[in-house]
Copies of this chain bind each other. A is one copy, B any other.
Amino acid sequence: MATKKKTTIKDIANVLGITPSAVSKALSNHPRISDKTKTAVLQIAQNLNYQPNHLASALRKGKSNLVGVIIPKANSHFFSSIIEKIEEVLNEKGYNVIIAQSNESYKKECKSIDALLYTQVDGIIASMANETVKLDYYEKIKSKGIPLILFDRGENDLNVDYVGIDDYLSSHLVIEHLVEQGCKRIAHIAGFSHTRIYKNRIRGYRDALEKFGLPIEESLIIESNLRIEDGRRIMNQLLGLKNRPDAVYAAGDYAALGALQVLQENHINVPEDIALVGFTNEPFTSLVTPSITSVEQHSEQIGKVAAETLLMRLDSPNEKVSLNKLILPAELIIRSSSKKLA
């Protein structure tokens, strides 16, 4: 059971009595190699169970064919389906994907970036941690000339390709829907406004209220990490107001779920007393009772476009193609939690 010596290109060459170089060329289907040698090489490669040494070829070619993907946390449908799609598109083109989770921590994110750079990835696709404000590590990626694509959680200041949805418009969709249901005091459980997407959702929320002639009340806008516990905390806070809202628009489904729990614990009818809308259309939104209205972001589409944009950058690294800000459409999925009218 001794560790079997791995078959190399040289072994194949020896068997056939030709040079390693010829074998290499045969394997990569070089035009100047005869069909006879090519088939012979392929045959022997098969027999000896030859597996190309990726490290050697990557070193020589200066290209690892590895792509890093950084996400806050894989444990949501949104991110895991994006990854799935990214893998699908990139594998197709011979790239492998390394996934790193930041766990919403800036420090972990930095470590992940370092790890990816160390592994010599050819490109990075990332969605930033909530915590991240300093962009130094992302600048580091850029300064190394490694293509960087951001999705979902992006940052304008970085000046890199970005793929996401129109958060501003999404908020409009949400508010419009709630107004149609007769809501007049709509609270917003917001994400931190230093993150672009949440800032835009807040902006959309404000502008939409204004558009519909509703007053903007600062006490109804509360920023957080949007976890379940944040939703709970903030919902309690909102219930404590002497003038309660009649609708809550959460910028994330988990926060919406936390809010729903608190509402139910307080025997407040949803949507009759307080309507509720979330964001991201996590699968559970359709599973809880009442089901939660949410915004579908078409994650597969985001993953696909992000991967394709990266491929484009990898194929033409020097070309000064104009920066892409790809804004995909979002869709409001209306469910029981906000449907006052039959």
Contact = CB atoms under 8 A, between A and B. Distances in A.
- Copies of the protein in its oligomer: 2
A15 interface: no
A59, A66, A261 interface centre (most CB from chain B within 10 Å): A59
Mostly helix, strand, loop or mixed at chain A's interface? mixed
Interface stretch (A16-24, A28-36, A128-136, A281-289): A281-289
Contact of A101 (B56, B87, B145, B257): B87
B59 A287 contact: no
A81 B75 contact: yes
A89 interface: no
Interface stretch (A40-48, A113-121, A217-225): A113-121
A322 interface: no
A287 B4 CA distance: 52
A148 to B, nearest CB: 14
Contact of A118 (B52, B261, B318): B52
B101 A118 contact: no
A53 B120 contact: yes
A91 interface: yes
Which 8 residue pairs spanning A and B have beta carbons closest together?
A74-B74, A75-B80, A99-B99, A3-B145, A55-B59, A74-B80, A98-B98, A55-B58
Interface of A: 1, 3-4, 6, 51-56, 58-59, 64, 66, 73-77, 79-81, 83-84, 87, 91, 96-101, 103, 111, 115, 117-120, 143-145, 228, 257, 261, 264, 283-284, 287-289, 317-318
7 contacts: A4-B145, A59-B59, A80-B101, A87-B100, A97-B98, A228-B287, A284-B284
